[in-house]
Structure 1
């Protein structure tokens, strides 16, 4: 009798109810989160509520929970970390739009400067100079837009 070359492997991964509820993959994701969040003093865990719903709770050194399930945060805690990450993702999401506006500002300013020069040439100096000034100031403001937004965010962070 010949031995089979490929034997099927049997691997036990958990119960059927764990598979159907998805807790196995959720536990793996929480373990992965805990590896990355340990540097920030955070830890996630699974909690099964009385209603049978599985919830993820995040705890850390920086906040204390009360019996009423309200959290008191200390500066530098998980709330600040999440706010920083959310702000970072929003800025990254709008960056292509900012880049497009900055790229479009050059040809638009060029057309306006040319139009202002033509108006100046046909003896409409006031309109021509006004158009040149507006195009120049507008181009500079569009190019400085990211710097001004960082300044506003910094002021908002200092005030809030």
Structure 2
């Protein structure tokens, strides 16, 4: 008698899964959306694949960006971003190698200057310095070229 089983009926599954269980949360989300609409932010109630319910917050301006410019332009923009991202490890490697190479050339230029070949030494130092600066600015040039290409290609 002390450990008797009690059966509690909670109702049918349809009633349990019904969205009215979250009506108070939906009201709060509507209040939040009214306040944040001016900032381009929207909250919504989302059911996850595991069955859990979560509140998702999205940036309206970002999510509707694809529809604002058309699907073809959106895909072209994403493709160019992916290509630039694919080359970034190569750019990073070249930038990392530029320091020791510039150091060797600067040292060689200083040695040339020391052994009375001033013109050749100063020329090596200048070329190494300018080359190092250009290599370090390569990502900026790359981004500039991509932006010019996008502006020329899109009518």
TM-score, normalisation: structure 1: 0.53
Choose which of 142, 148, 153 in structure 2 pairs with 1:155.
148
- Aligned partner of 1:104 in structure 2 is 97
Deviation (angstroms), 1:128: 0.3
Instruction: Give, in whole Å, the separation in 2 of the partners of 1:98 and 1:41.
Output: 29
What do you get for the CA RMSD once the two structures are aligned?
A: 1.8
Instruction: Say whether the 8 Å CA contact 2:80–2:146 is kept in structure 1.
Output: no
In 2: Cα distance, 1:124 partner to 1:100 partner: 33
User: Does the C-alpha gap of structure 1 residues 155 and 41 become closer, same or farther in structure 2, counting only changes over 3 Å?
Assistant: closer
Q: TM-score, normalised by structure 2?
A: 0.55
C-alpha deviation, 1:95, in angstroms: 0.7
Higher helix proportion: 2
Q: Which runs of 4+ in 1 moved over 2 A?
A: 39-42
Match of 1:144 in 2: 137
CA distance in 1, matches of 2:105, 2:121: 9
TM-aligned CA distance change 1:126 to 1:103, over 3 Å: same
Report the equivalent of 2:57: none
Q: Secondary structure at the match of 1:130?
A: helix
How big is each residue's C-alpha offset from its partner over 1:80-135, in whole Å with a ceiling of 9 and x where there is no partner? 11111111111111110000000000000000000000000000001100000100
Question: Which string of whole-angstrom CA distances, capped at 9 and with x for unpartnered residues, describes residues 52-105 of structure 1?
Answer: xxxxxxxxxx7xxxxxxxxxxxx8110111111111111111110000000000
1:92 aligns with 2:82: no
Other-structure match for 1:16: none
Higher RCO (CA < 8 A, seq sep 6+): 2
Q: How does 1:1-160 map to 2 (within 5 A)?
A: 39-40=63-64, 76-160=69-153
Change in CA separation of 1:130 and 1:93 when aligned onto 2, cut-off 3 Å: same
Q: How many residues align?
A: 91
